[in-house]
Structure 1
Amino acid sequence: MPPADAGFDYQLGGSYRLPPAVRVVTRARTSAPAPGAYNICYVNGFQTQPGRLDWWRGHHGALLLRDRRGALVRDPGWPAEVLLDVSSPRKRRHVAAVVGGWTQRCADDGFDAVEPDNLDSFTRSRHLLSRSDNLALADLLADRAHGAGLAIAQKNLAAVTRRMRHRIGFDFAVSEECSVWDECASYRAAYGRHVLEIEYTDNGRRPFARVCRRHGDEWSIVLRDRMLQPPTSPRYVYDRC
């Protein structure tokens, strides 16, 4: 798993040369890993990635979550993303096969770990999915990751306890905005120092400063712009404790 409290960067809006002293980086599965770093491969495990809905419709249309009227269920915060239907064991196996293929490609490309995003999609599902549905898929994804020789991250969902973490097989956590939502203690209880945390500039710098005071010598914490832009963008922001 990634070294605790190491220099970290979160590069989902485009890959670029690592900032000085960064030893751990998350990049999209379509990007190349960074030489000499611990590389985490981001995959959208529970929702469609923006721009990929037509692919899902054409190849796995039955895995798109629909409401009782047949309309696609979208993430209200990211409406270009449609939730995946993981409400049955059969559908979970099919989703795990798709995401598992991406995970194997991450391993083949030289990544060290995988980060399946949107574990908390059930909270946006209009009660069509349950927490147990998503955790059951997470169990399958952990098996796929470990079978490929990769560590696997729990992404968000602070309600996962230490016991649940070990039952599923998560190795470390990636938390967004745990300072904003007062969830950092939950991740500490479940993972100790094995946490990578991202705070965002649209919440101001106060949550970032607060978590740096409380946990800056325990785990990796960065401040990023919400869209995770590369340094060539005027909106790029990167800071760390």
Structure 2
Amino acid sequence: MQKSHEILWKQAEETLRKEPAFKFWLEQVKLPHWPFQNYMSEQASAEESLVIYFALMRAVVSQQLSTGSAKAILQKLQKIENNHLPLPHHFLTIRDETLKACGLSRQKIRYLRAIAEEAEQKKLPTSQEALAMDSEGLCQRLTDIPGIGDWSADMVMIFALNHPDIFAVGDYGVREGYRLIYQLEKQPSPKALAKAGERFSPYRSLLTGYCWSVKEFIQKRRDLT
């Protein structure tokens, strides 16, 4: 499996280098290694029946928040149950006041409880079941859950399932990174970006990661000036 990840990474880099804009940027910013490892991918090694549950919980917490803010909330939630996110049956017993003290809004608490209920009732797909589904079908299944939109479904597929061909066009950082790479005056719309990204299939998750990396690279340079 590790070898296949390395092969995929090399093929993705070769594909991106064929684009003049990416060829320039790859001299400045390296393509992040696949599969991606960050706070969103933690607990992806959980037992098969809980992988999607943990990934959805992390995605909801992260919605419309900076990475730092999301990590801070997740760390507070983990302290409730021995340094990992509460299991479904436990989460459903936690008082709203305790969850609000962790930094969660009422709306997110409602969404997280809906996810926990789905998991407790064995309605969420296992990781193996999810991997057997096509990305469109899995996205539809996940977005049927209250509070889960395309962005959250994309994060689950990229970080928990290591799906190599997801272009997270609903993510601000992805659109901004793409704008910087191609020196566009304004960000492309999600629809336009999805169309532009078709030629990078089947490596669009790595394209997603690279757009993030370029955005972060430019942000750090600006912070130093």
> What TM-score bracket applies, with the shorter chain setting the length?
under 0.3
Instruction: Answer with 1 or 2: which has the greater Rg.
Output: 2
Higher strand share: 1
Q: What is the TM-score normalised by the length of structure 1? A: 0.26
**Structure with higher helix content:** 2
Q: Which has the higher relative contact order, 1 or 2, with Cα contacts under 8 A spaced 6 or more apart?
A: 2
